[in-house]
């Protein structure tokens, strides 16, 4: 939202924050932690202040190196090193 500067209204900012929080709930690693669609609708229609930030997924480990892509004889790529752009704790400072 910082990209848009003053071009975004307070209402648009509130909607964007709500969509991000609901999206984070929907991509939880453990399927049982993901809300059912009826709950997603309730969250989107409800109050932003009522939404909680979901827990950080297990795969969110800080890393310090750039991925190095290797290709095998079949042309399949894989990463041999973790990315310095690894996932971190959610930060919602809009």
Q: What is the dihedral of CA 11, 27, 59, 63, to 10 degrees?
A: -40
**34 part of a folded domain:** yes
Q: What is the pTM of this model?
A: 0.58
Q: 13 with 36, same domain?
A: yes
Angstrom distance (rounded) from CA 92 to CA 89: 10
* Structural domain boundaries, residue 3: 1-56
Q: Which whole number is the average pLDDT over 74-94?
A: 47
**94 part of a folded domain:** no
**Tens digits of residue pLDDT in 34-83:** 999 999 999 999 999 999 999 886 666 565 555 555 555 555 554 444 43
Angstrom distance (rounded) from CA 42 to CA 54: 16
Which pLDDT does position 58 carry in this prediction? 67
**24 part of a folded domain:** yes
Q: 52 with 64, same domain?
A: no
Q: 42 with 65, same domain?
A: no
pLDDT above 90 coverage of the chain, percent: 43
């Amino acid at each position: 939202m910082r990209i848009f500067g003053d071009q975004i209204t307070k209402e648009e900012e509130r909607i964007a924050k709500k969509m991000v929080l609901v999206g984070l709930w929907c991509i939880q690693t453990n399927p049982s932690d993901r809300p059912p669609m009826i709950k997603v609708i309730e969250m989107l229609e409800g109050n932003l202040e009522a939404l909680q930030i979901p827990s950080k997924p297990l795969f969110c480990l800080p890393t310090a190196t750039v991925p190095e892509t290797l290709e095998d004889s079949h042309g399949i790529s894989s990463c041999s090193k973790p990315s310095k752009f690894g996932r971190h704790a959610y930060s919602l400072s809009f």
